[in-house]
Copies of this chain bind each other. A is one copy, B any other.
Amino acid sequence: MRFCPYAHRVHLVLDAKKIPYHAIYINLRQKPEWFPLVSSSTKVPALELVKEPGKPVLIESLIICDYLDERFPEVPLYPKDLLKKAQEKILIERFEQFISDFYNLVLHKNPEQLVDIDHYAGLVAYEEELKQRGTKFFGGDNPGMLDYMMWPWCERFAAMKFSFDEKFELSRERFPTLIKWRDLMLQDRAVKCFYLDGQTHAKYMDSRRSGNADYNMLYNEAKRVKLG
């Protein structure tokens, strides 16, 4: 399926590094018969390395992205300094807490009940961090691993006003640095390669919240030759 944010992470890294690849989207509820034969797990993303002997398959978005970064070092996505690299990984790991809060909101049957909860509290540290760095992106002049690992969920913020209400959108007053960052990310080549607008994300999210996720949405578009 086209909407998995963890798979989105891998697409971003592949596109940032201009690594050629072929994407196959599957229905997660009715997995194709070949999938368990190819993947070492039931999860997506799964990256089959077709040029390696035995065509091994990697899983886990962060492990795949770290592998791609080491294997294709021409466009490095981590800081060279090992300590800074570790600190970047901690920020990526901590983002999982925000992801979990985000899904609590997005998949809630009645998000109006959640209006008093601060769903974006987990982003405050990232607003502060980027403000302190004073750079365009977390990665500096260009997006780095942290930028790309956060992006799939940040792209989906634009869906909130379609799915729910404008008050669930990211606040311009509270997150001025992240809003600027989002606008810059939207201009990034790798982000553009896999970008979907808020309305499209909302349509998928709505189908998921209704308990009948439309995993085939954009199936035909996915079959088109990739131009990015």
Contacts and interface: CB of A to CB of B under 8 A. Distances in A.
Interface of A: 40-41, 49, 52, 56, 58-60, 63-64, 66-67, 70-71, 82-83, 85-87, 89-90, 93-94
A58 B89 CA distance: 10
Given A40-B90, A90-B40, A83 B60 contact: no
What number of copies of this chain does the assembly contain? 2
Nearest to A92: B63
Nearest to A88: B63
A64 B86 CA distance: 7
B63 A93 contact: yes
A52 B86 contact: no
Nearest to A64: B86
A3 B71 CA distance: 37
Contacts of A87: 56, 58
B52 A70 contact: no
A71 B60 contact: no
A83 B86 CA distance: 21
Contact of A60 (B64, B67, B82, B93): B93
A87 B94 CA distance: 23
